[in-house]
Structure 1
Amino acid sequence: MQVNLQYGDGDVAVEIPDDSVVIREGIVHEPTPLADPDRATREAIARPLGMPPIGDLVGPGGTVTISFPDRVKGGSHVTAHRRLAITAVLDELAAAGVRDRDITLVCAIGLHRKNRPEEWAEYLGADLLERCAGMRVVNHDAEDPEGMIDLGESSLGDPVQVNRAAVEADLSVLVGHASGNPYGGYSGGWKMPATGLTSWRSIAAHHAPRTMYRPDFVPATPHGRFREQLRAIGERMEEHLGGRFLAVDAVLDSRSRQLAVAAGAISEVERASWPLAAQRTDVELDGDPFDVLLLGMPRTFHYGPGMGSNPILMMQACGAAIVRAKAALVRAPIVIAASICDGWFNDADFPSYRPAFDLLQAVDHPRDMVQFHDQLSTDEGLVSRYREDYGYHPFHAFSMVYMGGVALDQTQAVVIAGAERPDLARAMGARTAPDVESALGHAAALLGRTPRVLCVPQLTAPAFHPRMAG
């Protein structure tokens, strides 16, 4: 059959075996999105699970922090969950007598780049942003000495350095999305504060080899050590808060439309959200496990421009795809990615990636990069780029390198097809081929037969977690 794969700034048509399975929107019947997501959001907030309503938690003179995810997920449409949830919470706070000047909104970027001034209205909406004029609206800053607080260690021994506003308010609200994710099974829940509102040292406790190279990290699951660490960090945050976070999570479909909304204590919200999130995300396939995972990789997706051309992010995407699809693959599959890999690192958004790439050439395996954590993550110039110039935090490169290591460890081979700089792909541990057909021929030679292919033609599309039936 012929299939169009994302590649660089466009598509490429390739021939794949007729019995290949193509993962795309519509492969499963998704649950029906909510007819009135605004009403569902307000009803969930009015009757939170395991907690009193907002009016019983805070009143006149009380301080409130509302934290919400950045642009990486959730959409920017008129009824996007973050827009509706923040608006509904603000209405409840107004009814409770909370003053605008006592409300802080924090974009929980974690180590992602900060929002530029014009981007706030783009994904929060001009109306909501205007309403927040009397409030404090800020990006989380993991390097702000005044805005961060060190809470010691979690019950699992991980450092807990967090956004001060999120743990010192009288009420701290977390807006999140219960969506399929290669890190910890789902976004939202405890993952939201533990990754979105913490420091690089906290994030390095779990976005690192000692957690990501455990056998319970692959395939994607919300029940491994990674998730336990997130919960322990979040619970330490709640201890300092002196109460519980009020989570407002939406289960999203493949178009970022709300399937359900749950509000309340985080663990209660996870229990209410995950079954439906699994129904949306998990795909059961018939037949034998697949030998080859074929990926279409554009230049721009998820983390931003350059993801499909920056060699570190290219390999991260291969690793993330393996984590999501491993339950449908043979023990040591072959990954083939159609990636332009032309050497454009996008140094503006990812300033630490080129030096991280250079350091990677001096080690035997990505896991050995841990020795360079302090060297790169505390570099004053790179930290300044994160704080003041809209660049990703320098540690972000390490977490992506480690996911690339997952791809290498979990496969027989990673083959980058169509790389304009094949030397960069090979420097990441991948093999190269001039095109997808040649790569499939290489896979057939390795296997001694025509491979059974699972194809994900669009990495810009919302992810599914395929597994074999039975």
Structure 2
Amino acid sequence: MSRPGFVLEVDERTPPLLIHQGEGFRLENLPLGSKVIYGPDPLPGIRDVNAAIRHALLHPHGMEPLPELLRPGMKLTIAFDDISLPLPQMQTPDIRQRILEHVLELAARKGVNDVELVAANALHRRMTPSELKRAVGERVFRAFFPEHLRNHDAEDKDNMVHLGKTDHGEDVELNKRAMESDLLVYVNINLTPMSGGPKSVSVGLAGYNSLRHHHNSHVLKHSRSFNDPPNSAMHHSYNRMADLLGGHVKVFTIETSVNSESFPSAMGFLNKREWEWNLKDQASYLAVKRANEMLPTKMRRKVWQSQYAPYKMTGINAGAPSEVHPLTMAKVHEQQRVEVNGQADIGVFGVPFICPYNVNSIMNPILVTSMGLGYQFNMYLNKPIVRQGGVGIFYHPMPNEFHPVHHPSYIDFFEEVLAETTDPAQLEAKYEKQFATDEWYIHLYRNSYAYHGVHPFYMWYWASHAMDHLGDVIFVGADRKTAARLGFRTATTLGDALEMAKHTVGSSPEISYLHMPPLTLADVR
């Protein structure tokens, strides 16, 4: 068994603690008495992954074995999670490749000829041919691309179908090919409790008409947290949509979970607790940090994006989504959950180099906000690690830098929308529809590799709960002008940030540092 997570109280013996800050990291001395929340050690992986896949397909939960669902003349669609999962990207062979090869072999044996593979990218950017090839493997890529392996296109009106409305009036409009198939197989990688289950199809194969119902400032503000689905308004909407689409298509889901081995051996010290670093780890830290600081920005970014994670699979289950997902969630919780007693006055978060929307790209200021105040702040069950009205201290340099191909609407959002207001509800009411229906943004989404025009709004809404909950937000080491545009304050050092926080939480605050990555889910009591 792996060691469970725990909460360390900083004392005189505690070494400096590693904190991520974009494409870099630092060692920081936290004040005495601070709490440091560490996740469990990596779980052991499945020894024979191929055998586990075969077993899952032949012994599914709540459905017939996959071969019994396949027949000649049927229409089969296989959808799979896009490049936003997992993070960092996994070493090859990708688990999607392994599963797809097994499913396609069974389909071929059963004489199924009408097969389409779809990357479930919703309003994310299209995956490039090389990215698709890396995910599905060369054999599948060569056999199906480009005619029968493609990205979902939410703006292809001829290939979207409106299935109806939920009892809450939510439109359910999804990929027509998938919805009209005799069987839809979904291949998932579950990295956090937010993903998988009802989210996979109802989000991954949806368009703006559906997504607007749960990707909005009100729903995200009341998803507390979106990694705690029973308390997430967003997941309540997913569930209603999944119930409706279940009456139109049979879904055979294959869900997987990974352990927390997020960094390769050359950067193995990032997977360890600091007081357990040996001489080799200490030397690696110094060498990597020195080399990292010497590299030009583009080269440094390329190096970080090339750090493929040596994840091991901890779970592979297949069958009916409602029966499979609880099994997946149990494994995710086993890997990430740690109990924390009480909330702090100040929460400390190191924002890393990667988020779901800058793979092979740039983490622009909007994505820094989404990652820090969205994903990381929401890595909790029951209650945030910071009390209502407390202070969030985040580490990231936050340069004013955008990828012009991937994030064109983000640039306009930053320069025009945030110049007028940072209030999620106000900018949603005034500008969202304009960006969502802009013909140029739609053209770039469909024909280039751009995120949909509305996407920066969703990323801003992602931070709605934290913005509503926190009394102050301070970024350590951030570009002052960029942070000011976002409505945040900056500090040069942690000491400066703590001094600034006194005006909100007093001179003797309780401090909690959520030590991640690897991903850690704080169960706050």
Q: Which TM-score applies when normalising by structure 2? A: 0.81
8 Å CA contact 1:309–1:343 kept in 2: the answer is no
Measure how far apart 1:335 and its partner are.
1.1
8 Å CA contact 1:219–1:322 kept in 2: the answer is no
Aligned twin of 1:167:
179
Measure how far apart 1:190 and its partner are.
1.0
Distance 1:385 1:254 in 2: 35
Letter in 1 for 2:419: Q
Most deviating of 8-17 and 377-386: 8-17
Match of 1:245 among 241, 251, 254: 251
Match of 2:371 among 311, 317, 328: 317
Which runs of 5 or more residues in structure 2 are unaligned?
1-14, 262-310
Question: Is the alpha carbon distance of 1:29 and 1:199 closer, same or farther for their aligned partners in structure 2, counting shifts above 3 Å?
Answer: same
8 Å CA contact 2:19–2:25 kept in 1: the answer is yes
Distance 1:201 1:462 in 2: 35
Aligned twin of 1:98:
112
Measure how far apart 1:451 and its partner are.
3.3
Measure how far apart 1:54 and its partner are.
2.4
Aligned twin of 1:19:
33
Measure how far apart 1:301 and its partner are.
3.5
Cα RMSD between the aligned structures? Answer: 2.3
Distance 2:251 2:226 in 1: 29
8 Å CA contact 2:220–2:464 kept in 1: the answer is no
Aligned twin of 2:307:
none
Measure how far apart 1:198 and its partner are.
0.2
Question: Is the alpha carbon distance of 1:311 and 1:364 closer, same or farther for their aligned partners in structure 2, counting shifts above 3 Å?
Answer: closer
User: What does 1:386-405 correspond to in 2, within 5 Å?
Assistant: 386-405=445-464
Aligned twin of 1:198:
206
Match of 2:99 among 85, 91, 96: 85
Aligned twin of 1:335:
392
Distance 1:404 1:318 in 2: 8
Distance 2:76 2:152 in 1: 15
8 Å CA contact 1:299–1:307 kept in 2: the answer is no
Distance 1:429 1:344 in 2: 17
Q: Secondary structure at the match of 1:186?
A: coil
Question: Is the alpha carbon distance of 1:305 and 1:137 closer, same or farther for their aligned partners in structure 2, counting shifts above 3 Å?
Answer: closer
Measure how far apart 1:134 and its partner are.
9.2
Aligned twin of 1:344:
401
8 Å CA contact 1:107–1:138 kept in 2: the answer is yes
Q: Secondary structure at the match of 2:229?
A: coil
Aligned twin of 1:280:
335
Distance 2:21 2:372 in 1: 14
Distance 1:308 1:436 in 2: 25
Letter in 2 for 1:393: H
Question: Is the alpha carbon distance of 1:167 and 1:344 closer, same or farther for their aligned partners in structure 2, counting shifts above 3 Å?
Answer: same
Does the alignment pair 1:54 with 2:54? no
Measure how far apart 1:131 and its partner are.
4.3
Aligned twin of 2:162:
150
Aligned twin of 2:50:
38
Does the alignment pair 1:451 with 2:509? yes
Measure how far apart 1:139 and its partner are.
0.3
Measure how far apart 1:109 and its partner are.
0.7
Question: Is the alpha carbon distance of 1:119 and 1:79 closer, same or farther for their aligned partners in structure 2, counting shifts above 3 Å?
Answer: closer
Letter in 2 for 1:467: D
Does the alignment pair 1:186 with 2:194? yes
Measure how far apart 1:298 and its partner are.
4.0
Aligned twin of 2:135:
123
Aligned twin of 2:224:
217
1:221-274: CA deviation from partner (whole Å, max 9, x where unpaired): 111332121122223223222xx2000001222234221111111101123322
Distance 1:327 1:279 in 2: 19
1:108-131: CA deviation from partner (whole Å, max 9, x where unpaired): 011111111222222322233234
Distance 1:29 1:68 in 2: 28
8 Å CA contact 2:199–2:235 kept in 1: the answer is yes
Does the alignment pair 1:264 with 2:271? no
Does the alignment pair 1:293 with 2:347? yes
Letter in 1 for 2:522: P
Distance 1:309 1:31 in 2: 29
Q: Which TM-score applies when normalising by structure 1? A: 0.90
1:358-394: CA deviation from partner (whole Å, max 9, x where unpaired): 2233236211222222211111111111111101111
Measure how far apart 1:194 and its partner are.
1.2
Match of 2:260 among 236, 244, 254: 254
Distance 1:328 1:404 in 2: 15
1:12-48: CA deviation from partner (whole Å, max 9, x where unpaired): 3333224334445xx4244322111221111111122
Question: Is the alpha carbon distance of 1:217 and 1:83 closer, same or farther for their aligned partners in structure 2, counting shifts above 3 Å?
Answer: same
Distance 1:328 1:417 in 2: 19
Aligned twin of 2:444:
385
8 Å CA contact 2:355–2:371 kept in 1: the answer is no
Measure how far apart 1:307 and its partner are.
8.2
Match of 1:68 among 56, 80, 93: 80
8 Å CA contact 1:293–1:456 kept in 2: the answer is yes
Q: Secondary structure at the match of 1:250?
A: strand
Letter in 1 for 2:238: L
User: What does 1:126-137 correspond to in 2, within 5 Å?
Assistant: 126-132=138-144, 136-137=148-149
8 Å CA contact 1:72–1:302 kept in 2: the answer is yes
Q: Secondary structure at the match of 2:351?
A: strand
Equivalences, count: 454
Most deviating of 287-296 and 139-148: 287-296
1:96-155: CA deviation from partner (whole Å, max 9, x where unpaired): 1212xx110000011111111222222322233234459700001110122212223223
Aligned twin of 2:428:
370
